[in-house]
Structure 1
């Protein structure tokens, strides 16, 4: 289910950090900057992972499903942009035995899309088990815990059109590009967990 921008706007109307609230609403409406800071005027095609070919039916079905909900644009017979980064895709097993389609934005090493996104201020460190235990132990009783698993969480966050050409895919002779944060972006977890604006955001 897509995010409701009007609902977010209503919930954030009285947020104490008005600039952050405005940033989030504008990003949901117009797309977020992925933070890419190096040469955009180039064409680069990376090979797809062997796992994509091993599970080709799954990959094709996932791309079609993503296009059906407008998370991905395509297929195109030729590149839809004058300059385009096409990063490899793969099928990675999840703990439950199912597969996840990933967009390998860290390939090729040294000149990938993720290499063009500075490590700071976009790095994210998750809380450790010890830190979580300390928080629980120091909290007044009773303590209630819950775990949330938001399916396709990153895929709810739109990318601004100026960055679409950086999120290209070449599969079975057809071109695609992501319009939302892909699994594989250096910024995906940072945006979803903390809504941290990039340097030029």
Structure 2
């Protein structure tokens, strides 16, 4: 089970208790359930596994990318990498590295790719 490997500092029972007097209890129920079981993001697209290749900078700066992945997994708020997809219909987005003029870098998660087939393309936008 993947969720058993992830650390979150929020105690859901305490969180719900603190919000027991909150005026919109339907929202509290929705929020606690979402934190427990995952939020539905409004995806209305095809359900098949797909993987978008990483952008060139992921390979050009592999040493930087490895540091980002190591830090994220050590903090236990991110799990992986996986040898096999963890879910039947996993969608793997590409990643890359952006190096600024001052030599600082940041991880780029390229979620809008591939064009017209990304997860974002099938999520209904709120008005």
- TM-score, normalised with respect to structure 2: 0.75
* Closer, same or farther: CA 38–3 of 1 in aligned 2, 3 Å: same
Counterpart of 1:6 in structure 2 is 13
* Closer, same or farther: CA 63–12 of 1 in aligned 2, 3 Å: same
Counterpart of 1:18 in structure 2 is 25
| Distance across 1 between alignment mates of 2:100 and 2:24 | 37
Structure 2: 5+ residue runs without aligned partners? Answer: 1-7
RMSD: 2.6
Structure 1: 5+ residue runs without aligned partners? Answer: 122-201
Counterpart of 1:79 in structure 2 is 85
Counterpart of 1:61 in structure 2 is 67
User: 1:24: Cα distance to partner?
Assistant: 1.2
User: 1:27: Cα distance to partner?
Assistant: 1.4
- 1:89 aligned counterpart, secondary structure: strand
User: 1:73: Cα distance to partner?
Assistant: 2.6
| Distance across 2 between alignment mates of 1:2 and 1:95 | 35
User: 1:105: Cα distance to partner?
Assistant: 1.4
Between 81-90 and 66-75, the greater mean CA deviation after superposition: 66-75
User: 1:31: Cα distance to partner?
Assistant: 1.9
Between 56-65 and 16-25, the greater mean CA deviation after superposition: 56-65
* Closer, same or farther: CA 98–27 of 1 in aligned 2, 3 Å: farther
| Per-residue CA distance 1:149-173 (angstroms, 9 max, x = gap) | xxxxxxxxxxxxxxxxxxxxxxxxx
* Closer, same or farther: CA 102–71 of 1 in aligned 2, 3 Å: farther
| Distance across 2 between alignment mates of 1:80 and 1:39 | 18
* Closer, same or farther: CA 51–81 of 1 in aligned 2, 3 Å: same
- TM-score, normalised with respect to structure 1: 0.51
Counterpart of 2:4 in structure 1 is none
